[in-house]
Amino acid sequence: MATEVLVPTLGESITEATLGEWLKQPGDPVKLDEPIASLETDKVSVEVPSPVAGVMGQHAVKVGDTVAVGAMIATVDAGGGAPAQAAAPQPAVTQAPAASPAAPAQSAPAATGDSPAALSPSVRRAVLEHGVDPSTVTGTGRDGRITKEDVAAAAQAKPPTPTPTAAPASQAPSTAPTSGGRKEERVKMTRLRQTIAKRLKEAQNTAAMLTTFNDVDMTAVMEARSKYKDLFEKKHGVRLGFMGFFVKAATMALKDIPSVNASIEGDEIVYHDYADISVAVSAPNGLVVPVIRDAQDLSVAGIEKTIGDFGRRAKDGTLKMDEMKGGTFTISNGGVFGSLMSTPIINPPQAAVLGLHRIEERPVVVNGQVVVRPMMYLALSYDHRLIDGREAVTFLVALKNAIEDPTRILIDL
């Protein structure tokens, strides 16, 4: 007996999603609640669990299709291990006509764990860009799935050869065939990427954005981290990073400069007596921005634990919708990717975003002497309709003082 697989409730005000990838192919055995598909919404990827144990039936929609909440996307033939063997030949018969209207790239390879058909669109693109054979990549994602980071790591590790791209090129009939070896590939934007693009453009069109800069000497924080990182990890079970210091320092500065933590609603300014800090976290399909609730009440250890949990679940695709909502201020750390300086775009309806950058040794003057110090540029982009230049600069100076003298964080100064 076949059981229909329906699109689950995706959260408040979200009525549809895009089918990102199939995690199970027709004929595959599935367990109860085992993920069989991944849906992409405006904010995060959601896995669809199997309602019963049995054998994966027919796919009712293709990758890239838009599906509504409650719509049927597939069937699962209920049963144990024995029905799985009996049912295995049947999907092979029914799969052929279903594959004919699909894109050529989906009909060529068999649906194995390392074939392009079993990879997400972003991972398939990374495979093509890096010329990596996915069968040689060890997946670190959920259930051993390959992520973009896995592909990039495999590309760095492999020795250069004259023909590394031959296999991936043959698996992508969608690329334009040309005699000179020049190729193009068209990949539909994910729903998440479309939403990011829309919101960022809306921010530019609505807010009077301006960015102000400062730099900070990281010596004191780096010394504290070096001295206490082992004891910190042993006691709290999480590594001591720099974000804990910056989030805590930001909550203190936001309390002193409340307009940076405010927002505009209509013709009113809404001031918040709490600091819900949005932190940009890298996920397989792009950056996501979960929120640290009431960060002003958390210790540095509590902040690091929360960020570490967000990072793990962003990679696994298990972040929840509610964890993306709200936020009164955003911190984005481009330094982990090597960025020296940037002008980040605010995340509406928030009024400001702090950009962190890479740490590099530079000559600075201290007490009349030129010395070499580990320095970082800070960038605060803000809505000039709400925040004046004086307030923006004062916020950055308060943050700089707290980082350069972490004792201020301990005594709330």
As a whole number of angstroms, the distance between CA 352 and CA 346 comes to: 6
Rounded Cα distance, 341 and 356, in Å: 8
Q: Which residue among 230, 294, 384, 405 is the active-site one?
A: 384
Let me know if 133 is a catalytic residue: no
User: Quick count: other Cβ atoms within 10 Å of Cβ 13?
Assistant: 7
Catalytic-residue membership of 384: yes
Secondary structure (3-state) at 38: strand
Of 146, 162, 144, nearest to 154 by C-alpha is 146
Q: What whole-number distance in Å separates Cα of residue 8 and Cα of residue 18?
A: 13
- Give the strand pairing for 29-30 and 45-49: unpaired
Strand, helix or coil at 8?
coil
Using CA atoms, how far apart are residues 28 and 47, in angstroms rounded to an integer? 17
Considering 267, 388, 405, 412, which one is annotated as catalytic?
A: 388
Residue 300's SS3 state is helix
Cα(163)–Cα(241) distance, integer angstroms? 41
CB atoms within 10 A of CB 39: 22
Vertex 289 angle, CA 287 and 293, to 5°: 160
Tokens of 248: 């805590």
Q: What is the CA radius of gyration of the chain?
A: 25
Identify each DSSP E strand in 194-334 by its residue range: 209-217, 263-265, 268-270, 277-279, 281-283, 286-288, 291-292, 329-333
- The alpha-helical segments, DSSP class H, found in 18-115 are 81-87, 89-99, 104-107
As annotated, the active-site residues are 384, 388
